[in-house]
Structures are given as structure tokens and as C-alpha cells.
Amino acid sequence: MFTSTIFASILPEILILTLGIILLIVEPFWKAEARRNVGWLVAGGLFLSMIISLLLGQPGEPVSVLGGMIRFDWLGFFFKMLFMFAAAITALLMMDHEKAGQRGEAYLLLLASLLGMNLMAVSADLVMLYLSIETASIPLYLLAGFIISDERSTEAGFKYLLFGILASTIMLYGFSLIFGFAGTTNIYSLSEMFAAGKIALPFFFGLLALLIVGLGFKISAVPFHFWAPDVYQGAPTPIAGYLSTVSKAAGFAVIVRLFFVAFSFGDNLALLQSWTWTLAVLAAITMTAGNLLALNQTNIKRLLAYSSIGHAGYALIGVVAFSQLGAASVVFYLAAYIATNLLAFGVVMAFSRVTGLEELEDYSGLSRRNPLMGLMMLAAFLSLAGMPPFGGFVAKVFVFAAGVQANYTWLVIVGILNSIIGVYYYLNVLKFVYLRRMQNEDEDKHPVALTRPYAIALIILALAVILVGTVFAPWFSWSDAAALNLFRF
């Protein structure tokens, strides 16, 4: 039976699919010069879909629909909105990409991947989960290697493909073990099976290792991060931005749901702590490695890649905390992080479109060449560094608060040491933007113009970063509502 709840639960996906079909129909009729306008169509369509979903598709009490394949709750819904927002911005940022922005395929692949991400956020069944992960990943392999004339891009595509496939097969093996053990693939039924305590600790550790390989790859946690810097550097910049934000957040959506629901283990503290401690160590290593490696980077995209590895570590603290606040803080962190990192990548994209340059030194004098872009850069990097009034500060405090509450003070201290390292290299970038000058001090002759899609995207993002950082109550209560769904089901 197809009820209105079922309809509402997959409304965003229906809309995305419709948008894709419209794109396929319309695009061939447009002249080659006008193909770029597909970006307006996709971005506008996605924003419209968000509005429609917010009006008609809000979840009520959490329910499993479509044969238990999909969970219709706030957690999934909030993530979906985040993903659609980020994808719309990515579409805007793609428009003036010389090689990717003129081709309808790129936008279609983006939508296909978005569809997969959305389903990842709501999957309540391991089979569904695996399928949606693949749906999300395969278009991204293509997008990363989209510029076939560019060796780096091709390399990025291949690297991502090889690493991705390997990681996902290992994870699939983990899923099959779970099925073999529990006889069910439904995450919510698993919860009861595991809570009954019928699982041996060593076996669970093995299982955990397999799952962490797959999911760690998605969120680029150390030691599964090797692909990230090369792929971010080689892939078209908007795609790199998308990879580092939406793809990572989708990974977290899965982690949060899978671990909080399936591995809550009732009262069995030993089993519970086996994974929280594993993830705590993973988080500590990820943060530290990401931030330390970022220190020496001279290429801005590689720097952002390592910094995004570090941020995965911070967000993991919330998962480790395994509390309602922990889950809420992860969701909040990701919301702030998506806006911030997209802003950073957006400025990088806009800059390299005009200048073709990506080294830190090339940013010398940017604040004189384009003061607005200088300010955007400032907002993005200070937010990444965790400074108020930008989103990064509040997000970090919430995650740390969750960590302290759960008695992981040592992990919070590691996080704090890392954010000190972060401050150093983020400010270092701003030093080039604001302090250093171009070689002949003739910035006036080298303006960096923003085209309209960039201007719109960057202003929306900058406002989002500041709004999340100052008026944080609404975002937090949504994150909190999402988190609540994990504990009362």
C-alpha cells in the first residue's frame, strides 16, 4: 500500500529524480553555449525541492516504511536537507567551471549521487544501505575523473575508484557476517539481537574492523584517508568540495544510525565500550594526523583535504560520546562544517577559475584584489579554526561538551591541542590573503572578478556560516530532534 507517509518519506528523492529527468529532456535542446544554465536549473530545482519537502514531507513519529527499508525520522530528514542544500550550492559552483560546468552529464551525475546520499541517511536495512552507498559513490568516481584531458583528474578518479571499491567490498563482507550471525539485515531488529548479548567480544571486534574500513573511507578517517588529498587536488574543485562535505556527512549519517541503533547493546557496557573506545582512538589519530599533515601543505586544496580529515576526527568525538547530546552535536557539527568547507572550496574555485592557481602563495594580495573574497576566506578559515562568531566555534564547543559529559575528557584535550595546531595553519592562509602582497604590489591591475553564480553561492554560504554560529538555537533544536530519534524508537 502506498500511503501518504510513504510518499512523504521519499518525497525529496522523488523530486530529485524528477529534476534529473527534466534535465535529461531539456538539456539536449539547449545550445552548447547555454548548457551552463543547467546549473541554474539544478540549483533552483533543488532549492524548490527543499521548500516542497519542508512543507509536505516533514516526518512525525519515526516509522519504518517500504518494508523496513527506510526509516522516516528527523535524523534522516535533517541530513537530507543538508545534502540538498550543499548539492544546490555545488551546482552553482560548477556552473563556471571551464571543463565541467558546460556539460549536462556532470549535473546529472551530481543528482544521482545526491539521491544515493539521501538514501544513505535514511536506510534502515543493510541491503538498502549498501545499495545507496554504491549509488552515491559510482557517480562520484566519474565526477572525480570528469576532466579526461587532465591527468591529475583522471588519476583522482581512478584512485578514488580503487580505494572506494576495496573499502566497500570489505564493508560488504562485514554486512554479510552480520547477516550470518543475526539472520536479519534490518538495523532496528539487529539492535534487539545484539542487545540480547548473544555476540562474543572478539567476533564483534572483527566485525567492527570490517565496518570501520568501509565507513572510515567514507569519512576519510586515518588510516583510510590516503585517497583524500590526491583526489581533492585532482578532482574538479566543486566536486572536491562536495566530496569533502556531503560525502563525508553521509558517512557520518550512516555511522550515527548504525552504531547508535544497532550497537547500543542494552546494558552490556563491555560491548558498548569496545566500539566507543575503538572510535575514540580512531578519532584521536585522525585529528592528530590530519592537522599535523596539514601544517606543511603549500597547495590550498591539499591543505583543505588534510584539514577535512582533522574535522572528521572532531566530529567523531560526538559519536564516541554515545549520548543524545553527542548525536546532536555531530549533526550540528556537520551542518556547520558543510557550510564552512563549501565556502572555503567555493572561494578556492572562484579564485582558480580566474587565475588558474592553487598554491598558498598565489593568494598573496587577495584581499586587495577582491575585498569581498578576502572576507569570505576570512569567514571560512576562522570558522574552520573554531572562532566565533562563525559556525565552527559553537559546533566545536558542543562536540567537546558532549565528550566531557561522557567522561572522554582525554579525547577532548586531544581535540583542543589539535585545534591549536589548526589555528596556526588556518591563520597562515589568512596571512597570505591579507598581509602578503603580489610581487609588484600592483593588485589593482589584477582584480579577481566573481561571476554571478559564485557571488550568490558564496554569499549564501557566508550568511549560513555566521547564522549557524550566532543564532544557533534553531539548528541545534533540529539536531537535537534528530538525535532524539536515535534513542527513542
Partner 1 sequence: MNFPILSVITFLPFAAGMLMLAMPATRKNEVRAVALATAVIDLILSAWVYLQYWLGDMSGYQFIEQYRWLPALGISLKFGVDGMSAPLVLLTGIVMFTGVLISWGDDDPHVMAGIQDRPREFFAFLFLLAGGVFGVFVSLDLFMLFFFYEIAVFPMYLLIAIWGWAKTREYAAMKLTLYLFIGSVVALVGALVMYWTQYQNTGILSFDMIQMESAGFSSAFQYAWFLPVFFGFAVLGGIWPFHNWSPDGHVAAPTAVSMFHAGVLMKLGAFAALRVGIMLLPEGAKQWSWLVMTFAAIAVVYGAYIAFVQTDLKYMIGFSSVSHMGLVVLGVSTLNHNGLVGAGVQMFSHGVMTALFFAITGMIYDRAHTRMIPELGGVAKVMPFATIGFIIGGLVSMGMPGFSGFVAEFPIFMGVWGRQWLVAVVASISIVITAAYIMLAIRKVFFSDMPEKLVGHISPITALDKVAISTLCFFMIVIGIFPAVMVPMIEKGVENVLRLLGGA
Query: Candidates 224-232, 352-360, 416-424, 443-451 — which segment interacts with partner 1 by CB under 8 A?
Result: 416-424
Q: Does 410 bind partner 1 (CB under 8 A)?
A: no
Residue from 17, 427, 456, 467 touching partner 1 (CB under 8 A): that is 427
Single residue of 387, 450, 460, 464 touching partner 1 by CB under 8 A: 387
**Is residue 184 a contact residue for partner 1 (CB under 8 A)?**
no
Identify residues 453-482 at the interface with partner 1 (CB under 8 A).
Answer: 472-473, 476-477, 480
Question: What is the distance between the alpha carbons of residues 205 and 363, in angstroms, rounded to a whole number?
Answer: 47
Q: Between 122 and 429, whose beta carbon lies closer to partner 1?
A: 429
Contact window for partner 1 (CB under 8 A) among 15-23, 93-101, 291-299, 366-374: 366-374
Contact 36, 96 (CB under 8 A): yes
Judged by CB under 8 A, the residue of 389, 443, 446, 459 near partner 1 is: 389
Alpha-carbon separation of residue 239 from 217, 231, 304 (angstroms)? 17, 10, 13
In the complex with partner 1, the residue whose CB is nearer, 21 or 420, is 420
- Contact between 437 and partner 1 by CB under 8 A: the answer reads no
64 backbone φψ class: left, alpha, beta (φ>0; ψ -120 to 50): beta
Residue 17 within binding range of partner 1, rule CB under 8 A? no
**Which of 404, 455, 456, 459 touches partner 1 (CB under 8 A)?**
404
| Other Cβ atoms closer than 10 A to 481 | 17
Residue pair 9/57 in contact (Cβ under 8 Å)? The answer is yes
Taking CB under 8 A as the criterion, the residue among 58, 169, 296, 409 binding partner 1 is 409
Query: Measured from the CB atom, is 431 or 452 closer to partner 1?
Result: 431
Q: How far apart are CB 427 and partner 1 at their closest, in Å?
A: 6
Asked whether the beta carbons of 355 and 250 are under 8 A apart, the reply is no
Helix, strand, or coil (residue 64): strand
Cα gap 402→322, rounded to integer Å = 9
Burial of 421 (0-12, 13-18, 19+ CB in 10 A): middle
- Residue-level length of the chain: 489
Q: Which of 413, 438, 455, 456 binds partner 1 (CB under 8 A)?
A: 413
Residue environment code for 368-396, b if the CB has 16+ CB neighbours within 10 A, otherwise e = bbbeebbbbbbbbbbbbbbbebbbbbbbb
**Least distance to partner 1 from the beta carbon of 319, Å?**
18
Q: Which residue has the cell 578576502?
A: 374
Beta bridge partners of 391: none
**How far apart (Å, rounded) are the C-alpha atoms in residues 372 and 22?**
35
Is 266 a binding residue for partner 1 by CB under 8 A? The answer is no
Total interface residues for partner 1 by CB under 8 A? 38
Among 388, 443, 451, 489, binds partner 1 (CB under 8 A): 388
Q: Please state the separation of Cα 325 from the chain's center in Å.
A: 20
**For partner 1, the closer CB: 83 or 363:** 363
Establish if 400 lies at the interface with partner 1 (CB under 8 A): yes
Under a CB-based contact definition with an 8 Å cutoff, are residues 91 and 42 in contact? yes
Q: Which residues bind partner 1 (CB under 8 A)?
A: 325, 367-368, 371, 375, 378, 382, 385, 387-389, 393-394, 397-398, 400-401, 404-405, 409, 412-413, 416, 419-420, 423-424, 427-428, 430-431, 434-435, 472-473, 476-477, 480
